Structure 1
């Protein structure tokens, strides 16, 4: 048994709620039922890549192509006012599933947290790292 056997993207039957919505040769757009982030989902390479820096040139190209198709799909279904796209890479950045995945999150003007992005949280004084003088 390999670590890929425990990966919900390499073995999608492990996560019965996720649905394949769109795909191309090397990437899949998955969604799961959401009560808050309506329309959000993940673009995932078909082959196991731990993070975005392991993607091949072909996977990068196919990811970008799929992003545009996903946007068209979500625009038709939900007509969002904006999008957040985000990769978390490694534990310090909040990656919990170690198979590369791009978050696509439609945003709406009537959300309580409209206009708030990841940098709004990370750029606060309470997130300032201590630096040594060495």
Structure 2
């Protein structure tokens, strides 16, 4: 059996089931291309996920157009969270691949409202590197 349904969703994908209405969710917004719903294990109150309606695993599979649609909904939901919850800040996070802590392999963006003293921690600690190291990476990444 092919893993995709006729409508482009993955049979065993949790987020496809939410999009299709086959699994319960707490939707906060949706349009023709995206769905935004509360994370059931939130880092903070209002922690919301934005997903495309069509199944794509990650940033490398999503089209530029579909990514723009997700980004538009992220922008609208961020404004909604700001207006209703008045956080001190907001983390907008996308984890791509298991090594980057992606747990559900359907492209999604986390919007995490932040308040001073909310006890969430930095995702990483880093130190500046020598300019030569940055120049080497920059040369490798040039779009020439």
Q: TM-score range by the shorter chain?
A: 0.7 to 0.9
1:80 to 82, 87, 90: 87
Q: TM-score, normalised by structure 1?
A: 0.77
Which contiguous aligned blocks of 4+ residues in structure 1 show a shift greater than 6 angstroms? none
Structure 2: runs of 5 or more not aligned: 5-9, 128-144
C-alpha RMSD over aligned residues: 2.1
Report whether the alignment pairs 1:31 with 2:30.
Answer: no
Q: Count residues in correspondence.
A: 119
User: Following TM superposition, by how much is the alpha carbon of 1:34 offset from its aligned partner in structure 2, in angstroms?
Assistant: 5.3
- Matches of 2:33 and 2:76 in 1, distance apart? 14
Cα deviations by residue, 1:62-96 (Å, 9 ceiling, x for unpaired): 11211111011101221011111111111111111
Q: What is the DSSP-based 3-state SS (H/G/I as helix, E as strand, rest coil) of the residue aligned with 2:16?
A: coil
Is the aligned partner of 1:50 residue 2:53? no
Match of 2:14 in 1: 8
**Structure 2 length normalisation: TM-score?**
0.72
- Among residues 67, 73, 76, which one is paired with 1:69 in the alignment? 76
Note the residue ranges of structure 1 that are not aligned, 5 or more in a row: 125-134
- In structure 2, relative to structure 1, the CA distance for the partners of 1:34 and 1:90 (3 Å cut) is closer
Question: SS in structure 1 opposite 2:79?
Answer: helix
1:41-81 CA distance string (max 9 Å, x none): 11101000011221112212111211111011101221011
**Change in CA separation of 1:36 and 1:118 when aligned onto 2, cut-off 3 Å:** closer
Give the corresponding residue for 1:117.
122
